[in-house]
Structure 1
Amino acid sequence: MKLRPVLLVLLLLSGFYYATTHVWSTGSAVPWLHSTASSANSATSKTASLNGPLGAFELTEASAAPAFDSEEQQNIQVYKKALPSVVNITSTAVAFDFFYGPVPQQGQGSGFILDKQGLILTNNHVINNAQRVEVTLSDKHKYKATVMGVDKNHDLALLKINAPNLTPAVLADSQNLIVGQRVYAIGNPFGLSGTMTRGIISAIRSIHGPENNPIEDAIQTDAAVNPGNSGGPLLNSRGEVIGITTLIANNGADQSSGIGFAIPINTAKAVLDDFAKYGRVRRPSLDIVTIPIGPDIAEQLGLPADYGILIDRVMPGGAADKAGLKGGTQRAYQGNTPVMLGGDLIVGMDGQEITSPQDLSAVMNSHRAGDEVTVTIFRGRKKMDLKVQLGDAKDQQGVLGQRT
């Protein structure tokens, strides 16, 4: 009885030896393996023979188009939903050559439809100084556009066309955007209409626009953005507009570097609301120049709070000046930039904590010029509240009108 396990082991070893030395070495198992693999492949592919002067070719072709995965389906849905609302914009200006002869110059950009009456939003720099503006829809129909209003400070322009069966874009809320969120850009880069690229929100930061105008809470993205994308929509994963593609950080190269910026759509909504109510942009202003404060700078300057915005300068006769807010009196340098220290430190407005210029911008966007707000400041070590009647940024406001 004790020999049976031993004999069983010897039998298994002998069988394994025979299989490896005879069956595999002679290749008799290959046809079986080949037939198995062929049957698996035949379910997804087929072989096509081609004969010609160069001989015979055998090509393995997919027997059916593969199904799109969930990520591809989302990309396709965003594109189909948003594309009918995206337009190409061609602006024509007239320059003069050495002999004072008129030379037409064309620029290209993008935009998107706001309503069925033909209102279109784009960047001001797309149509700036243009004598003629033409809009091409996604169905290739072209229409002459009228410039209804511009806001140079926010680099926005409102156009209008007369066209039937327009598809308005869906506008989202840009207040609670998150870094890492997936975004899509659709536009007319290098004149290639209907181009979509994809990326994520890389950061939310304040920057300066094409005319050195400040853009608060600009949406930074790594989605490829190139010349011609300006004015087009930046979309979320539901195909809703969260921003207006505006510029790229190109470091001297006139093409995408993986750092693009978009104006948040909430800023555009406020501008459009002003156009509708007042016929011009009536943006609230404190009339101050500020310096963002963080823990390191606060420690260096001996400030009573490690957050907020320090008033560098107060504009004479402006809202802050009338309310008694103070600017800096001590000259210093932040890198190579001269700044004035010793001014009031703003840490709150209307009971909301102000930790950065973005916080201040968010509170200001909920007010109108002429509104009275309560500004919380530190003056030296003393904390105090001041009532401020917000000014009207008249020097940089847009004007509603018509130009063809």
Structure 2
Amino acid sequence: RHVLRWGVRIPTTTRLFCTREGASGVPAELLDLKGKRRRSAIRQFLKRDEPFSNPHVPASPMEGDRKHTFLSENLLASVVKVYCVAASPNHQQPWQRKHQSQSSGSGFILDSHNRLIITNAHVTMDATFVEVRRHGLAARFQAEILYVGHPCDLALLTVEDDDFWSEMPSESLELADIPHLQDEVKVVGYPTGGDQISITSGVVSRIEQQQYSHAMLSPHLLAIQIDAAINPGNSGGPALLGRKVVGVAFQTLSGLENVGFIIPSVIINRFMEDFWRSTGDQGSQHLKHFPGFCSLGIYCQAAIHEGLRSYLQMSPKHTGVVLFDLMPTSSANGILFPMDVLLEIDGYPIGNDGTVAFRGREHIRFDHLLVMKSRGQLVQFRVLRKGEELNVTVPTDLYRNLAINHHEHPWGPSYVVFGGMV
């Protein structure tokens, strides 16, 4: 004899352990019964049609306060699936493009008033035709790429069709600050394996600068590592902490499990600031590109070895990094010199490992303060040079790598035909 409960057979001979407070959901008056009467009453109680409930812990996702545990439909309505038809430039025959291919990704409505949708740049790379579909709608709508930032792997889309923006919920997605370690986040998007929206959960595992795989020639940028599942198709989707967006899903580490990365809100805000500067509040109908992040173009090493510290006349109280080379395009040429020890940046002490205090016991590399500046802004350094401490000011400039990144030239290579070949 068994009791069937939610598809699980529980032998009636198994002793039921219940507390007087009803932690198992069984009324206390049934627990007062003895022997067979108690077992029979509990068995009849479990056969009732009402959902099994627990006054302390909801036993079903349909119980309890959904608005605090689950993402509301209004929030999910801001998430979109992005469909792209792309044709990459042909560098061997630059007058034509390669064969078309189709792909899909995710995105979300960042600003409904200005009709802006954000996704990853690699989702729309080389796109010739883009469509989006909102969660809860069956129809696809043609989208236009407004702004692309390959260095930070972000892109802005817009949809002109009014039907797409009709009946937009009042509750929309907003950007939040950088989350803390162990904060629980949910990644929402449209990964491969299905056509409907997908939600995975995880925690914030690490916060530090990473190399964005879409921009291998750009500076390392701040990224948030999470252990929520991020699969192909999730790119461009939001990572939510409660009702707010803490990042955009964009990459994983191949060969490892539960290691995914999201672009934090500080990078998104920096991208949006440049967008509004370049287009104005009215937007633009022409595709424009994010110029990139600032960098001094310097190479540094840790000042840990005692022999090196002694040679540089660093006292035990000194912490910092040693500048050993500058790029030819560096804006610091003539201001900073090889073998300078960078002690502070904008008043923040630099550790011997090249990090500055970020939040509590957390540290990040000091060049994060550089990439967050706009072109032309000044950065203050305290430098140890030949045993003497100096204050120097360096203007920031855009990162310039002499190697060409083809991602940043989506219009294709330039060429000239100068003669025939037999």
TM-score normalised to the size of structure 1? 0.71
Structure 1 residues 366 and 126, CA gap change in structure 2 (3 angstroms): closer
Choose from 53, 58, 70 the match for 1:69: 58
Distance 1:383 1:307 in 2: 12
Distance 1:96 1:282 in 2: 21
Q: Give the letter aligned to residue 122 of structure 2.
A: H
Partner of 2:83: 90
Q: Give the letter aligned to residue 197 of structure 1.
A: T
Alignment of 1:168-187 (within 5 A): 168-174=172-178, 177-187=179-189
Check conservation: 1:281, 1:397, Cα contact below 8 A.
Answer: no
The structure whose residues are more often strand, as a share, is 1
Distance 1:347 1:274 in 2: 30
Q: Give the letter aligned to residue 245 of structure 1.
A: A
Choose from 325, 330, 334 the match for 2:336: 325
Partner of 1:58: none
Structure 1 residues 214 and 269, CA gap change in structure 2 (3 angstroms): same
Choose from 206, 210, 220 the match for 2:209: 206
Alignment of 1:105-184 (within 5 A): 105-116=101-112, 117-140=114-137, 141-162=139-160, 163-165=164-166, 166-167=168-169, 168-174=172-178, 177-184=179-186
Partner of 1:197: 200
Q: Quote how far apart the aligned CAs of 1:43 are.
A: 2.4
Check conservation: 1:298, 1:306, Cα contact below 8 A.
Answer: no
Structure 1 residues 230 and 215, CA gap change in structure 2 (3 angstroms): farther
Check conservation: 2:251, 2:260, Cα contact below 8 A.
Answer: yes
Structure 1 residues 312 and 120, CA gap change in structure 2 (3 angstroms): farther
Q: Quote how far apart the aligned CAs of 1:274 are.
A: 0.6
For residue 113 of structure 1, give the secondary structure of its aligned residue in structure 2: strand
Alignment of 1:236-275 (within 5 A): 236=241, 238-251=242-255, 257-275=257-275
Q: Quote how far apart the aligned CAs of 1:347 are.
A: 2.9
Distance 1:269 1:371 in 2: 17
Q: Give the letter aligned to residue 93 of structure 1.
A: A
Find out whether 1:315 has 2:327 as its counterpart. Answer: yes
Structure 1 residues 285 and 138, CA gap change in structure 2 (3 angstroms): same
Structure 1, unaligned runs of 5 or more: 1-30, 47-61, 328-342
Structure 1 residues 311 and 80, CA gap change in structure 2 (3 angstroms): farther
For residue 249 of structure 2, give the secondary structure of its aligned residue in structure 1: strand
Q: Quote how far apart the aligned CAs of 1:380 are.
A: 5.0
Question: What RMSD over aligned residues (CA atoms) do the two structures have, in Å?
Answer: 3.5
Distance 1:183 1:281 in 2: 28
Partner of 2:341: 345
For residue 120 of structure 1, give the secondary structure of its aligned residue in structure 2: strand
Check conservation: 2:212, 2:220, Cα contact below 8 A.
Answer: yes
For residue 77 of structure 2, give the secondary structure of its aligned residue in structure 1: helix
Distance 1:71 1:198 in 2: 18
For residue 366 of structure 2, give the secondary structure of its aligned residue in structure 1: helix
Q: Quote how far apart the aligned CAs of 1:283 are.
A: 5.1
Q: Give the letter aligned to residue 332 of structure 2.
A: A
Distance 2:50 2:117 in 1: 45
Which stretch of structure 1 is more off in the superposition, 33-42 or 133-142? Answer: 33-42
Q: Quote how far apart the aligned CAs of 1:156 are.
A: 0.9
Distance 1:292 1:42 in 2: 73
Partner of 2:392: 386
Alignment of 1:282-321 (within 5 A): 285-291=294-300, 293=302, 297-299=304-306, 301-302=308-309, 304=314, 307-321=319-333
Distance 1:384 1:308 in 2: 14
Q: Give the letter aligned to residue 325 of structure 2.
A: R
Q: Give the letter aligned to residue 370 of structure 1.
A: G
Check conservation: 1:122, 1:157, Cα contact below 8 A.
Answer: yes
Check conservation: 1:94, 1:102, Cα contact below 8 A.
Answer: yes
Check conservation: 2:106, 2:234, Cα contact below 8 A.
Answer: yes
Structure 1 residues 146 and 206, CA gap change in structure 2 (3 angstroms): same
Which stretch of structure 1 is more off in the superposition, 123-132 or 384-393? Answer: 384-393
Q: Quote how far apart the aligned CAs of 1:45 are.
A: 2.7
Partner of 2:29: none
Partner of 1:6: none
For residue 38 of structure 2, give the secondary structure of its aligned residue in structure 1: helix
For residue 38 of structure 1, give the secondary structure of its aligned residue in structure 2: helix
For residue 385 of structure 1, give the secondary structure of its aligned residue in structure 2: strand
Q: Give the letter aligned to residue 63 of structure 1.
A: E
How many residues in Structure 1 have an aligned counterpart in Structure 2?
330
Find out whether 1:276 has 2:276 as its counterpart. Answer: yes
Q: Quote how far apart the aligned CAs of 1:223 are.
A: 0.6
Partner of 2:44: 42
Q: Give the letter aligned to residue 311 of structure 1.
A: L
Check conservation: 1:109, 1:230, Cα contact below 8 A.
Answer: yes
Check conservation: 1:154, 1:215, Cα contact below 8 A.
Answer: no
Q: Give the letter aligned to residue 347 of structure 2.
A: G
Distance 1:311 1:278 in 2: 34
- Identity among equivalent positions (%) equals 25
For residue 182 of structure 2, give the secondary structure of its aligned residue in structure 1: coil
Check conservation: 2:86, 2:129, Cα contact below 8 A.
Answer: yes
